[in-house]
Structures are given as C-alpha cells and as structure tokens.
Amino acid sequence: MSGRLDRRTFISALVALAAPLAAGAQAPIKLHRIGLLTPLSASDAALWYQAFRLGLRELGWIEGKNISIEYRYAEGKSDRMRDLAADLVRLQVDVIVTSVTMDALAAKDATKAIPIVMAAAGDPVATGLVESLARPGGNVTGLSQMTYELSGKRLELLKEMVPGLSRVAVLWNPQNQGSTLTWKEIQLPARRLGIQLHSLEVRSPNDLDQAFEDATRARAGALFVIQDPVVNTNLGRIAGLAAKSRLPSIFQWSDFADAGGLAAYGPDRADLFRRAAAYVDKILKGAKPGDLPIERPTKFEFVINLKTARALGLTIPQSVLLHADRVIE
C-alpha cells in the first residue's frame, strides 16, 4: 500500500515538474509591432524600406516571426500625415519609424509615449524634434541626413558644372518647415558663390508647370530642388520639365538623376534606413530613445547623368566627373 502511494507521489511530482516545461515550450513568441510612417508613396519608399527590413533581419528581427510592420503612406499629401500618425498611435505600436522631418513632426505631435525613430530627418534640433544631437531627450531619436549643411555643396556642384552660372531657380514648398529652413540656409552659400536665387514656390503638383514657366521668364540658368513630399513623389515629372526648360538641375536623392535630372548629391538614404534598424533593435530591447544620440550620414552619393548633360549641351569638367560615385551614360 505504502509502495503504491510512494509511486503515485513520484508520478505526480513528475507531472507537476513537466507541466511548466511544456507550457514554456508552447508559449508564443511576442510579436513586436513597428509602425512605418512616410509622406511618400509605397513605390517611392520601397528601396528604403527594403534596406530597413534587411537591417532588422541582420539583428534577428524578422517580419511575421517576431515583428509585424504597419505601413502608412501619405502618397505625397501632407495633410494626411496627422491622421496617419494618429492611426499608428491608436494601434499602440511599439515604435514608429519616420522617413523625413515632416512625418517625424506629425508623429511627435501624435504621441509623447511611443518611441519614434527618424531614419533621415533634416535638422532635428532646429525643427524642435530633439533637444540636442548628443542627448535628444523625450521620445524621438534616429538619424539626420544633414539636409541644410549639404545644400551649399549642391550649389557649388551646380556652379562647377554650369559655366558662368549666376542665377538659380529654387523649387520648394513654403508649407514644409524643413524646406523653409533649407531655403534660408542656402542664402549664405549663394551669396558667397555669386549666385542669385529665384524662388519657385510649389504647394501641390498643380503648381509645377507654372513654376517652370516662371523660371523661364526669370532666365534662370539652373534648377535647385529642395526635398518635399510634393517634389519627392514627382521626381520624374520635375526632371522632364527641367529638361524641357533647358535647366541643368540638382537634387539630393540619386533617384532624381536616374529619372533624368542632371545630378544628385546627398546621403545614401538606403544606408540611413538600414542603420535606423539598429535604433529599433535597441529600443525593443529596453533602451530609452531620449538616451540614444542622433547619428549623421557616413555614406554619400554623387550621381551625374551624362545623357542629360549632352542633351543640354553641357560638358561636365573632368575634375567633377572624377568625384562622381556613379555616372549615367
């Protein structure tokens, strides 16, 4: 009798020990939810998001396995940013990743609790996104693409590529805080280079044709394009209008040169998005965004479209070509 009791006790003990082990083995892996917010369209952001997912995968985060991603695209319509940001907040995502300044500002207005990672903001201090680059504070961190610092370099490149250049038309959206800061920032390097700037304000795609007519009347010798959702979602059209207007043009993303613009110079945005994944990794593992310093670009791209140069009758100096990372023949 006592032997059977001992046996029963032993078996009961084994079952009790096995139960939590079995439960632990069957416990589902927590699925962290990441919100991707951008003023661009899905096609415009595709390559950058691919780089971001690759960066996550390298760190062990795989979509559908231990993370899920909510995509929100404003399709170039700035007035949608606030609602899209609020939608991600309602979903209670664990972190929001933004593309540029505009969507970062919308996300910050929507939440003070959910961490926000900027993949390629302009000047996060000047726009009020963070307190400082070293200690951002609050719930925002990430990377800056040095938009304003590099604008002077783009003007220099235009001057080197276009002989006798003295008047440059600047395509920008005054409703975009980041664009406004860039417009102010380029005044000093323009004066230093002896270049007169002519403002072409565009608030929607409907303003583009009129802007180029204005540039022709102003006898501009080249076109300087400032980043904005209206611009970013119409790069091919802008490159075409610039070619039609016989305007050598420059922008900060290589897509513009690929679309027919004369040149592009700026940070490698795919690299910035890949690096943004490291911020997400740290935050999902418990780091506070306000303690993570803002990083700057380490890779830059200078692309020249020689086919466009020939169509414009331009001969790009060899000294400039030697500095190009890529030449489109």
pLDDT on residue 30: 81
Q: List the single range of 76-85, 139-148, 233-242, 272-281 with lowest mean pLDDT.
A: 139-148
User: Buried b vs exposed e over 313-325: b needs ≥16 C-beta within 10 Å?
Assistant: eeebeeeeeeebe
Q: Is the pLDDT of residue 157 over 60?
A: yes
Q: What is the pLDDT of residues 225-248, one digit of tens each?
A: 998 889 988 999 999 999 999 999
DSSP 50-104: HHHHHHHHHTT--BTTTEEEEEEE-TT-GGGHHHHHHHHHHTT-SEEEESSHHHH
DSSP class per residue in 212-272: HHHHHHTT-SEEEE---HHHHTTHHHHHHHHHHTT--EEESSHHHHHTT-SEEEEE-HHHH
Q: What is the pLDDT of residue 194?
A: 96
Whole-number Å distance between alpha carbons of 98 and 101? 8
**Which one has a higher pLDDT value, 302 or 232?**
302
Residue 146: pLDDT band with limits 50, 70, 90: confident
- The region of weakest confidence among 5-14, 50-59, 232-241, 294-303 is 5-14
pLDDT grade for 148, boundaries at 50, 70 and 90: low
Give percent of the chain above pLDDT 90: 79
pLDDT band at 9 (very low <50, low <70, confident <90, very high): low
